[in-house]
Amino acid sequence: MPEVANYQFDHPMGTIYGWFSRKGLTQLRLPTPETRYERIPVLHSSMNDMRVWELHTLLTRYFEGVVQTFDTIPLDLSAGTMFQQAVWETAQSVRWGETSTYGELARRIDRPRAARAVGQALGANPVPIIVPCHRFLAHSGGLGGFSAGLEWKRALLQTEGNNA
C-alpha cells in the first residue's frame, strides 16, 4: 500500500483513505477494527485535484442517505485480473438499495459455476462503495463476507435503506 494517500474522509467508524493514479481512483480503503485508528499522511497537493473534491462530495451525500452513483469518479482498476475487472465492472450495475447474489453475478458474467470466485473477486475489490460489493449476498440470503468486516457491510446496506 502506498505510504501517502491522496484522499481522506472522516467517518464515525474510522478514516477512509483513497489513492488516485493519473487514470483514476485505484484504492478506497475502509477502516477495519485493526486499522480504525491508523493515520496515513495525505498529499496536500491532492486538494487541487478536482477528482478528490468530487469524491468527497459524493461520499458526504452517500453517508447522508442521499441516493448516489459514483459514475463521475474515474477508476483505475488495472491492478486486477481480467476476471476481477469483469466482476467489478458488472457489480456496478446493481444500484442503490438493491442486492443480488454472488451466483447471480457469476451468471451475469457468463461464469455460472464461479460464484465462489466471484465472492473472492468482490473481496479483493480495491474501491468498495464505488464498486458496490456490499450489495452482494450469499445464495442463502446471508451477508457473506466483506473485506472491511460485516459491520461495514451492514452499515452500508442500512445507509441505502436495505436491512438485509
Q: How far is it, in rounded angstroms, from Cα 27 to Cα 30? A: 10
Q: What is the pLDDT of residue 35?
A: 77
> Within 13 Å and on the Cβ side, how many CA atoms surround 32?
9
Q: Report the catalytic residues.
A: 133
* Angle (deg, nearest 10), helices 82-91 and 115-123: 80
* pTM score above 0.85: yes
State the cell numbers at 151: 459491520
Q: pLDDT averaged over the chain?
A: 92
Q: Are 73 and 9 in contact (CB under 8 A)?
A: no
Residue 137 has pLDDT above 80, yes or no: yes
> Exposure pattern of 70-85 as b/e (b: 16+ CB <10 Å)?
beebebbbeebeeebe
Q: Is the dihedral of CA 95, 98, 102, 104 positive or negative?
A: negative
Residue 2 has pLDDT above 70, yes or no: no
Q: Which residues contact 68 (CB under 8 A, 6 or more apart)?
A: 58, 61, 62, 96
Q: What is the pLDDT of residue 42?
A: 86
| For residues 150-160, average pLDDT | 95
Instruction: Return the closest-CA partner of residue 11 out of 71, 76, 72, 62.
Output: 62
Q: Are 153 and 160 in contact (CB under 8 A)?
A: no
Q: Where are the domains of the chain?
A: 7-63, 82-159
Amino acid 27 reads Q
Residue 47 has pLDDT above 70, yes or no: no
Burial grade of 11 (CB within 10 A; 0-12, 13-18, 19 or more): middle
| For residues 126-150, average pLDDT | 92
Q: What is the pLDDT of residue 139?
A: 84
State the cell numbers at 123: 473481496
| For residues 81-98, average pLDDT | 97
Domain 82-159, what architecture? Answer: Orthogonal Bundle (1.10)
Q: How far is it, in rounded angstroms, from Cα 44 to Cα 141? A: 43
Window from 11-20, 58-67, 116-125, 142-151 with minimum mean pLDDT: 142-151
